[in-house]
Chains A and B, each alone.
Chain A
Amino acid sequence: QVQLVESGGGVVQPGGSLRLSCAASGFTFRNFGMNWIRQAPGKGLEWVAVLSHDARNEYYADSVKGRFTISRDNSKNTMFLQMNSLSTEDTAVYYCAKAYCNSASCFFDYWGQGTLVTVSS
């Protein structure tokens, strides 16, 4: 069965950095795009970034562009999110999600359990 396990969350000071990981199993990781989606405490969902299956195409939300970098290692079935210049507004549970694509678009068919990132002094 598909499993996505995030790790790397924790408490970091404003201006600091953190690297999240998402370990995938139960499907052929190298064939699927992957996403990061976050949810601030008590708030709704915010899509953060996507990386294509071959790592050639990546897109970001405006709120993280230039500060966050998504990457993947298909040999290790793992995706990453490098987060720099963190602010309190980045405090959230971060989910990784597998992309399910039809002819023209992609949705999120499997999600991890999330990892909490808290930005606080």
Chain B
Amino acid sequence: DIQMTQSPSSVSASVGDRVTITCRASQGIRGWLAWYQQKPGKAPKLLIYAASSLQSGVPSRFSGSGSGTDFTLTISSLQPEDFATYYCQQANSFPYTFGQGTKLEIK
């Protein structure tokens, strides 16, 4: 199985900050990576698919990059509604696997 490792596990930031979360795959997954946002008690929401494609309706302050084994999610200017947990997910091969999550907290 492909292991997905996110860093950091948690990060504190302020409104307006630029934040980057990284995700590393244990083997190459080409560009088959997605990012999801989850708020407490809610289902995850797709933000980015195919490493860098912005899902419809997602604000442009979210962006993704990377290929192979190393990927990043960047939030260019944090808004209050962005404080949540973020997960990466590989869709290169079954079983699909998620990273352990990165909790983004208010500083």
Contacts and interface: CB of A to CB of B under 8 A. Distances in A.
Nearest to B32: A105
User: Which A-B residue pairs are the 4 nearest by beta carbons?
Assistant: A111-B43, A47-B96, A105-B91, A105-B32
| A: interface residue count bin | 20 to 34
A44 B101 contact: yes
B7 interface: no
Q: Is the interface of B mostly helix, strand, loop or mixed?
A: loop
Given A95-B43, A100-B46, A105-B32, A47 B92 contact: no
Contact of A47 (B32, B45, B98, B99): B98
Contacts, number: 59
B100 A44 contact: yes
A88 to B, nearest CB: 21
Interface of A: 44-47, 50, 59-62, 95, 100, 102, 104-109, 111-114
A107 B34 contact: yes
Interface string B39-50: 000111110011
B95 A44 contact: no
Nearest to B99: A44
Given A47-B98, A111-B45, 15 more contacts: A44-B101, A47-B89, A47-B96, A47-B97, A50-B94, A59-B95, A60-B95, A61-B95, A100-B49, A102-B49, A105-B50, A108-B34, A109-B55, A111-B43, A114-B43
Interface of B: 1, 32, 34, 36, 38, 42-46, 49-50, 55, 87, 89, 91-92, 94-101
Contacts of A47: 89, 95-98
Given A104-B32, A105-B91, A112 B50 contact: no
Contacts of A111: 43-45
Nearest to A48: B95
A62 B1 contact: yes
A45 B98 contact: yes
